[in-house]
Amino acid sequence: MASTTRTVKRLQHYLINTKLKTYSFDSILDLMKKEPRFNSMTYNRLFSHFGRNNLHVEQLWEIMKQHGKVPNVYVYTTLNKCYSGNKKSINELRKDMNDRKVQPNTQYFNSVLKHYVEVGDKQTYEKIMAEMKHLEIKPDAHTYSILINGYGNAGNLEELKILANQILQLNIKPVDSIMSSMIHLFGKAKLFDTVMDLRKQMEELDIKPQILTMNSLLNSYGKGGMLDKVVEIRKQMDQLNIKPDIYTFNSLITCFGKAEKFDEVARLRNEMAQMNITPNVRTFVSLVNCYGKSGMHDKVVEIRKQMNQLNIKPDINVFNSFIDNYGRAKKFKEVNELLCQMNQADIKPDVYTMNCLINCYGKNGMLDTVVEIRKQ
């Protein structure tokens, strides 16, 4: 008997720690049917692994109940994640949990909250927050991140402002990550006064911003064309001893490029080199757009050479930027070369690619080519 128990424990340990993808679902299902002594942790691991297939999850869940295993809060949390988007299953799990008198925790509520946020059921996820408060279960950073996405996606910016104040007053960690998301959403909505208020509140509460918050501020002000604010935030970064990263430089290059401040763009590129920060795909998209839209085609050619030298593989956005700018310069041979490179890299043209090509050939009277592209 002791030997059998040790064998089961070894199997449990193996199932929890091994890479389950090496085994078929049928072989694992057969094992679980035969052996009733596997614990909740083992089932939780299996639910997590097979979570994308609701049929597999249902089969394991039935076996668990048949063997009389009592699920804990972690099992219910994992099952909620498996059934996210399925309101009926989420409600059935909640009823089962209540019947078994299993106490919920923050992670459980987060899994339920995420479901209702994803389906846009504002009334229900506000009820869930009220229930958490009633049960004296404290929300964590993940709870607030879910709510931020919910209010942001629904465009409920007033509720988002209230939430931002709560987060700052409670000093929910990590503040930087949460504030970054908030600033991004308010910046996207062009509510720059609210962005400034958030930054001011952080200062008043002596909450030091980190790189994520500062990058979001740069991005928001940059997209709003507020060059003076961009310069101010960059100076604050130096004052706070916050080291810029690639995302900082990408935002700055995009911002100064749109303003046609080419000396500043060149200075930023030199600063990146001095700091040993390697440009990424996004950097080159910004540079191509910066120089190309201002008719500086020689610079676009230089950027393309640099990408090849650094062995940076272009994505669809890079190809689109180059096609757009070579098209503006009437460099049709290079446009065709880029299309061939896309084909070799197995990158399919998107709507923007097609629009660039139509503009490129159409403005130059090449109507037969436009008709051919339109058919594609």
Q: Is the pLDDT of residue 106 over 90?
A: yes
Which pLDDT score is estimated for 369?
63
Rg over alpha carbons for the chain, rounded to the nearest Å, is: 27
pLDDT of res. 213? 92
End-to-end CA distance of the chain: 70
Please, which pLDDT band fits residue 207 given cuts at 50, 70 and 90?
confident
Tokens of 347: 């990158």
* pLDDT value, residue 374: 59
- Average pLDDT of span 250-269: 93
- Token look-up 């607030």 returns 144
pTM, full prediction? 0.74
- Higher pLDDT residue, 249 or 27? 249
What is the number of other CB atoms lying within 10 angstroms of the CB of residue 72? Answer: 17
Q: Over the stretch 14-39, which tens digit does the pLDDT of each residue have? A: 555 556 666 788 888 888 888 888 88
Q: Output the CA torsion sign for 62, 68, 72, 73.
A: positive
- Residues 258-265, mean pLDDT to the nearest whole number: 92
- Please compute the mean of the pLDDT values over residues 199-227 and round it to a whole number: 90
Task: Determine which of 79-93, 157-171, 261-275 has the lowest per-residue pLDDT on average.
Answer: 157-171
CB 45 within 8 A of CB 18: no
- Total residues found in the chain within this entry: 376
- Any residues with CB less than 8 A from the CB of 129 and at least 6 apart, and which? 113, 139, 147
